[in-house]
Amino acid sequence: MTWFHPALFFFIAAVALPFLDGMKRKVVLLGAPMLSLLPLYYTPKGIHGAISLMGQELIFGRVDNLSLVFAYIFAIIVFIGMIYGFHLKTIREHIAALVYAGGAMGAVFAGDLFSLFLFWEIMSFSSVFIIWFGGTPRSAKAGLRYLLIHTFGGVMLLGGIIVHVVNTGDISFNAMSPGGWAGGLMLFGFLVNAGGPPLHAWLPDSYPEGSVTGTIWLATFTTKVAVYALVRGFPGAEVLIYIGLFMTLFGVGMTILENDIRRLLSYHIISQVGYMVAAIGIGTELAINGAVAHAINNILFKGLLMMGMGSVIYMTGKRKATELGGLGLVMPYTAVLYMIGGFSISGVPLFNGFVSKGMIIAGAAEAHRPITTLLLTMAASGTFLSTTLKLPFNVFAGRDKELKVTDPPPNMLIGMGLAAILCFVIGIQPHLLINMLPYPEVEYHTFTASHLVVQFQILLTAALAFLFFVEKLRPKATISLDVDWFYRKGATLFMKFARGPVSLWEGFIIEVYKNAIIRPTKWFIVHCRRFDTGVIDRIVNEVGRVIFGGSWISNVFEKYVVYAFINIVGYMNHVAAHIFKKLQTGSVHNYAMIIIVGIFVLVNLYLLVGEQLSTWMLAIG
């Protein structure tokens, strides 16, 4: 059967949206994710959408359990998120979200490294608009920092791909070793998007500045596609265990200190992705199943938590816990739905987090890693303490700030309700998810006595700690510093450097361009004109006197040969000057993209003629 890429539904909807209004627009917003489910259900597993290019095979449709389970949850969360954002008056955020979702869908089906990189960059450049749509000066600055970090990560990923292709001649995207330049650069590029250290600070720096309704997209796609890429490319890489443990514990620790409610949830993204990264590093079939299951569940419960706190911000206009309190009485539905997300992320039995966290911890124990098992278990209590007890207590209970608000519009409650239902359904029927995982045949029993006892011990310990330290856990009007402080301060030094040596270097390049290109070209044109009038015209006129009809021949030759040559030279000079002027935008990410395109062109030239050129040079030598 003919395969239709699911991502195309999102791209087509994004293009069509500006031409629609009213009910037609809403039909398209919900129709795109619903239609994308059809090829997921009907397409047989295998390779689809393969294209031969320059001796390599680009694969746009590698369909297997791993790609399908991510694609299904992406389609579902887009449907939920579109309902949550129905009340928006403008379409710009919907367009960015559809392109973002299409990029994510394309990435999980990519069977080669270049296709993966293409969709990877589509995600990076579409997601930044959701941050900018926050509409504040902080959003503008945070979006630029986000773009710079992800451009850097993209360059590292592309560099690794290039080295890998040069070394192996193969562009297929399969399991690789993290050792060497190729594997190391690609692993670094994946970890940047996953929120791994030391560049993790982009996540709590940028996500809280995005639009209220757009944060659900940010929490869904970038980090989870990175998890997919790590599962596909580096399963069993031991270094990921230690990186994942750091992310898990560091993220939980920062949530205890954080006052900004969306920054708190952003740090929890780092923590929860840390579970997934550690499980990928363990690399057993059970651990990989746990990583994928937790990614799927995280999209649901983290999306629910983000929607819950987004509703609070939307209705109150406040995002600091110190400014909130007592909202449970005036926003009861929001409070209940948020708590379902809190129970899910904390691993409370009968909710989906209990299923996937248990898998990861069981995978660590099965691999005989007692320290890893202990640390992951301890982090679970911190999650319950900060996300399910501290944050909702201070926002929905706590000291009443007497804010005159109500629950958000019905569409926002419906979106949260759908996510909450799925969290509960997977929690009580875990086989619905387990059967879709990469290794569905691996035996795992969710509701064992030991698992239930250990989990209740964790939750009880966290609850007692909260009761004893409730006053200490009240929010304080502080700002949490992270490693982004260093590159923010470093940016000041960089700008000084840019205004000094870099500015001088640019002036030098401009002078070289004038002296080496512009002036010689002008000299050449002037002398061509002199040669034309002084030599060519004389010869043509003399020939015209001798040969019958020579006058007509000379006019044609002069008009279509001589003048054409002179005009072409002048036009080429004008085009070159225009191109160089356009390239000097002053924008770092534009320069980075020019570098990326240039490298891509050079690599393709090498693939086309490199071997023949090397043979020719050896023959000469």
HSE-CB of 77 using CA atoms within 13 angstroms = 35
Please give the share of the chain, as a percent, with pLDDT higher than 70. Answer: 84
pLDDT tens digits along 496-519: 666 677 677 777 777 777 787 778
Q: What is the DSSP letter of 430?
A: T
Residues 578 and 597 in one domain: no
Domain assignment present for residue 486? The answer is no
Residue 506 counted as domain residue: no
Token digits of residue 539: 């010869």
pLDDT tens for 565-582 read 767 766 676 666 666 555
Look at residue 516 and tell me if it is in a domain.
no
Element (H, E) at 555: helix 550-557
Q: Looking at the domain assignment, is residue 504 inside a domain?
A: no
Return d(Cα 183, Cα 233) in angstroms, integer: 9
Mean pLDDT of 543-563: 62
**Which among 151, 254, 269 has a CA at the least distance from the CA of 203?**
269
222 closest CA partner among 244, 254, 193, 258:
193
Residue pair 302/342 in contact (Cβ under 8 Å)? The answer is no
Query: Residue 172: helix, strand or coil by DSSP?
Result: strand
From 234, 265, 298, give the residue that closes a domain.
234
The H or E element spanning position 81 is helix 65-84
Domain boundary residue among 431, 456, 475?
A: 475
194 and 72 together in one domain: yes
Decide: 157 and 117 in contact? Cβ < 8 Å.
yes
Does 253 lie in the same domain as 226? no
Model confidence band, residue 534 (pLDDT cutoffs 50, 70, 90): confident
d(CA 381, CA 384): 5
Residues 194 and 276 in one domain: no
Distances in whole angstroms, Cα of residue 363 to Cα of each of 224, 272, 280, 372: 20, 16, 10, 10
Cβ–Cβ contacts within 10 Å for residue 45, how many?
A: 11
**Cα dihedral 470→474→478→480 (10° resolution):** 50
Find how far residue 507's CA is from the centre of its chain. Answer: 36
Q: What is the pLDDT of residues 251-283, one digit of tens each?
A: 999 988 889 999 999 999 999 999 999 999 999
Say whether 440 sits in a helix, a strand or coil: coil
| 331 in any annotated domain | yes
Domain shared by 318 and 380, yes or no:
yes
Same domain (yes/no): 269, 217: no
Contacts of 457 (CB under 8 A, 6+ apart): none
Whether the Cβ atoms of residue 262 and residue 309 lie closer than 8 Å to each other: yes
Distance, CA of 362 to CA of 286 (rounded, Å): 8
Residue 394, CB-side half-sphere exposure with 13 Å CA sphere: 27
Cα–Cα dist 259/481, whole Å: 12
One domain, residues 580 and 592: no
Whether 574 and 595 have beta carbons less than 8 Å apart is answered as: no
Lowest pLDDT segment from 41-50, 491-500, 549-558: 549-558
Within a domain: 159:
yes
Q: Which helix (H) or strand (E) holds 48?
A: strand 46-53
Helix, strand or coil, per DSSP, at residue 512: helix
617, pLDDT greater than 50: no
Residue 512 has a pLDDT of 79
pLDDT tens-digit series, residues 410-460: 999 999 999 999 999 999 999 999 999 999 999 999 999 988 999 999 999
Q: Are the CB atoms for 195 and 269 separated by under 8 Å?
A: yes
Please indicate, yes or no, whether residues 96 and 124 belong to a single structural domain of this protein: yes
Question: Do residue 590 and residue 570 come from a single domain?
Answer: no
Q: Could you give the dihedral angle defined by the CA atoms of residues 360, 366, 372 and 376, in that order, rounded to the nearest 10 degrees?
A: 30
pTM of the model: 0.80
- For 601, other C-beta atoms within 10 Å of its C-beta total 10
Residue 511 lies in a domain: no
Whether residue 345 sits in one domain with residue 259 = yes
Q: Read off the pLDDT of residues 375-406 as tens digits, 9 standing for 90 and up.
A: 999 998 889 999 999 999 999 987 778 888 99
Q: Are residues 229 and 242 in the same domain?
A: no
Whole-number Cα distances in Å, 449 to 363, 446, 453, 455: 17, 9, 6, 10
Query: How far lies 364's CA from each of 195, 358, 371, 528, 569, in Å?
Result: 22, 10, 9, 78, 69
Task: Mark whether 437 and 307 lie in a shared domain.
Answer: yes
**For the segment 93-146, what is each residue's pLDDT rounded down to a tens digit?**
999 999 999 999 999 999 999 999 999 999 999 999 999 999 899 999 999 999
Tens-place pLDDT, residues 41-52: 998 999 998 888
Give the N- to C-terminal CA distance of the chain in Å, as an integer: 54
Say which residues have a Cβ less than 8 Å from residue 98's Cβ, sequence separation at least 6.
10, 11, 13, 14, 17, 32, 78
Question: How far is residue 236's CA from residue 238's CA, in Å, rounded to a whole number?
Answer: 6
pLDDT band at 36 (very low <50, low <70, confident <90, very high): very high
Give the count of domains, the chain.
4
Q: Is residue 528 situated within a structural domain?
A: no
402: how many CB neighbours lie within 10 A of its CB? 8
Helix (H) or strand (E) holding 239: helix 239-257
Q: Give residue 94's domain range.
A: 1-234
3-state SS class at 373: helix
CA dist., res. 213 & res. 401, Å (int): 24
Looking at residue 562, its pLDDT comes to: 65
Contact between 334 and 407 (Cβ < 8 Å): yes
